[in-house]
Amino acid sequence: MKRSLKKIPLVCFPVATFVTDFGTENTLIDQELYNSFSEDSVIIDWLKTFGVKEPSEIAYLEKEIIGKIESCINEDNFLDVTEFILRLHAAKEIEEAHYNGLRDLLLKTNNGWAKAKDCFFARSI
């Protein structure tokens, strides 16, 4: 098993599994490591102050998309990721801070890739 260090705010507690409709998951704290401190409420509370939380749709949005905004979109997944975000938007689950975090999300346009903050719908003539 390959282990790698991740930034604290980008990981979730390994207490549940959340898998998107397109087959990706939240990055979890290593189970063996988690087991070594899971009963220590001071460490758990400390990690929560950095944004570590249980896996969920919102945790996926925050950590895997917004937290990795420069690398989360590619030619293979842009439709799935965009649909995932739109579904959360339609369900009114996205908060203002999330929208602000998504400003640099790459969108595929008629003229290639562009950041969301630089895109708009043109009025048809």
Span 64-95, pLDDT tens digits: 999 999 999 999 999 999 999 999 999 999 99
Determine the Cα–Cα distance for residues 116 and 93; give it in Å rounded to an integer. 19
Q: What is the DSSP code (8-state) at residue 16?
A: S
Q: How big is the chain, counted in residues?
A: 125
Q: How far is CA 112 from the centre of its chain?
A: 23
Which run of H or E residues covers position 41? helix 41-49
Which ranges of 50-117 does DSSP label H, i.e. alpha helix? 57-60, 78-90, 96-101
The more confident residue out of 29 and 3 is 29
Q: What is the pLDDT of residue 5?
A: 62
Q: What is the pLDDT of residue 1?
A: 56
Determine the Cα–Cα distance for residues 80 and 36; give it in Å rounded to an integer. 36
Amino acid at 123: R
For residues 84 and 98, the answer to whether their CB atoms sit within 8 Å is no
Determine the Cα–Cα distance for residues 123 and 113; give it in Å rounded to an integer. 20
